[in-house]
Amino acid sequence: MRKYIVILTIGILALGVCSCRRGKENPEEVKYNMREDVVFTASASGYLTKASDSALEDGDAIGIFALEPINAYNVKGTVTGSKVSTDYRVKWELNQTKPTRFAAYLPYNANLGAIDYSFSVQTDQSTYAAYQASDLRYAVVDARPGNAVDLKFQHALSKLVVVMEVPDIEVQSVVAEDVVTGLRLNLVDGNVEPEALLKGQVTFGKAVEANGGTGYTAIMVPQNGSIGLKVTLKEGLVIDAKPETATSLEPGIAYKATVGLTGTFILSVTDWADDGEIPIK
């Protein structure tokens, strides 16, 4: 009988220890579960359809930062339609009333640990994958609990489309020479700072214009100064084209360079939306 009493006593004590342990953990767990999940949606700012390379696509991976008081860093999200599912449940603080600033970007970089993002474009954008990998986009929004956080992405870099003044001339390749290829993007305010020491050449990808013509397209770091274009024609003739006037590429703007046979090109602003030039996949 004594043995049974001892066993029963040990069992009761063990149960009490477990209960105490759970009692220590439960308040925080309950508090966490009481907090509401942050619901994210995503879209391309200013664009309403998915017909262009400005739109988001299903499966796009994005990175999300949430500043105070949430403090979540580089949470991976996956876009499906307009919804975003995250690998980690981001939650509002309990009884939070002040807004939180959310900053997001794509393409996703698992190694990014800070909101000051050093980024370089692909120097060979002759493939659609390399072109897309160069198209750094970001979204910044302040939001409060009770509302979905709508991440409206915009282009951080510039787009340059090269066409010939004489449309029947066949082009073999287009290369931008001695251009800035790196930048720093502050994800919190969207400020783009070119890295002047990171220079090189960028090879353009063949593209289809909305009117059915052919052009060559690349994502470029926003920069000031004279941009040189090396246009190689099918018959082997090389045109080293310079701008007729000083060039300046601004963030989020698409430009068209119309190259003449005299070795100069005219730079004009064009459309980055559905009626713009779309790279061939």
Q: What is the pLDDT of residues 190-237, one digit of tens each?
A: 999 999 999 999 999 988 765 667 889 999 999 998 899 999 999 889
Beta bridge partners of 84: 40, 79
Tell me whether the omega of the peptide bond preceding residue 69 falls within 30 degrees of 0, making it cis.
Answer: yes
What distance in Å separates the CA atoms of residue 61 and residue 201, rounded to the nearest whole number? 28
Beta bridge partners of 231: 174, 239
What distance in Å separates the CA atoms of residue 276 and residue 86, rounded to the nearest whole number? 32
41-45, 48-52, 274-278: least confidently modelled range: 48-52
Beta bridge partners of 233: 171
Give 158-185 as a DSSP string.
EEEEEEESSTT--EEEEEEEEEE-EEEE
**pTM for the complete prediction?**
0.82
20-24, 31-35, 151-155, 205-209: least confidently modelled range: 20-24
Mean pLDDT along residues 270-278: 62
Mean pLDDT along residues 162-183: 93
Domain 158-279 has CATH 2.60.40.2630: yes
* Boundaries of every domain in the chain: 40-116+135-155, 158-279
User: What order do you get walking across the sheet with 116-120 strand by strand?
Assistant: 116-120, 182-186, 192-194
What pLDDT is stored for residue 50 in this prediction?
33
State percent of the chain over pLDDT 90. 64
